[in-house]
Amino acid sequence: MAESVNTTGEIVRRYFAIVGDLSSTEDDLRAILHPDAVFTELPNPIAPQGHVRNLEETVSGFLAGKQRLAAQSIAIEEVLASDDRAAVRSVWRGRIGDAEIVAHMAGFVTVTDGLVITHDTYDCYEPFTLP
């Protein structure tokens, strides 16, 4: 019997589910990321200069976010996948204290060997004020 193979779209949806779930673990994230993964965040109000992160920096940011945020979710609006690439349109919501932050995101994800190896994200934040 042939083993089930996850499609690029399924892998990308699982990746976003892990990132958006405050109860997910470092092991959950590492299980879906390629050891050579590179994450590029284009300039935005949170990261005005943008940022390029390797796997370890990404895991650190993932864990730091869990400490900062009281709530978080990512709602995927659309995934367009072709071969090993996917374009993703989503909405991220996070809560810090009483402030809710909302970002409309467009991302481009590459999957290699069933693991996310690149993620370029373009985050468009709604106006917000932190406490």
Is residue 110 scored above 50 in pLDDT? Answer: yes
> Would residue 97 be called left, alpha or beta, if left means φ above 0 and alpha means ψ between -120 and 50 degrees?
left
The H-assigned helical ranges of the chain are 8-20, 26-30, 55-68
pLDDT confidence of residue 130: 74
pLDDT (mean) for 20-28? 98
Rounded CA-CA distance 45/109 in Å is: 22
pLDDT confidence of residue 3: 41
Distance of CA 28 to the CA centre of its chain: 13
Which domains are present in the chain? 8-125 (3.10.450.50)
pLDDT confidence of residue 2: 39
Residue 31, CA distances (Å) to 52, 78, 79, 82 in order: 21, 23, 21, 22
